């Protein structure tokens, strides 16, 4: 939610199944989980910004 601390930040390591963000769709909050493990190297959207279906939200360098 806007104003809340992000689940992950640039440089964080993520693991498969880890919650990386929450997407709101039709007033429902949906947890988005990492599909791979690695380091977050780029975050492409700001917190609270509307996104489109299949839009890339962040890039992860696999380990």
The tens digit of pLDDT for each residue in 7-60 reads: 999 999 999 999 999 999 899 999 999 999 999 999 999 888 899 999 999 999
Assess whether pLDDT exceeds 90 at residue 4.
no
pLDDT at 3 over 80: no
Residue of 14, 6, 3 lying closest to 37 (CA atoms):
14
Is the domain 13-62 a CATH 2.40.50.100 member? yes
Contact (Cβ atoms closer than 8 angstroms) between residue 61 and residue 41: yes
Q: Tokens 């601390």: give the residue.
A: 5
Q: Are 14 and 26 in contact (CB under 8 A)?
A: no
Q: pTM of the prediction?
A: 0.82
Residue ranges of domains in the chain: 13-62
Q: Would you say residue 61 has pLDDT above 80?
A: yes
Which has the higher per-residue pLDDT, 63 or 54? 54
């Amino acid at each position: 939610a806007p104003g809340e601390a992000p689940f992950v930040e640039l440089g964080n390591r993520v693991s498969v199944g880890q919650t990386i963000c929450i997407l709101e769709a039709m007033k429902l909050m949906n947890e988005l989980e990492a599909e791979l493990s690695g380091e977050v190297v780029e975050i492409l959207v700001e917190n609270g910004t509307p996104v489109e279906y299949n839009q890339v939200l962040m890039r992860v360098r696999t380990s």
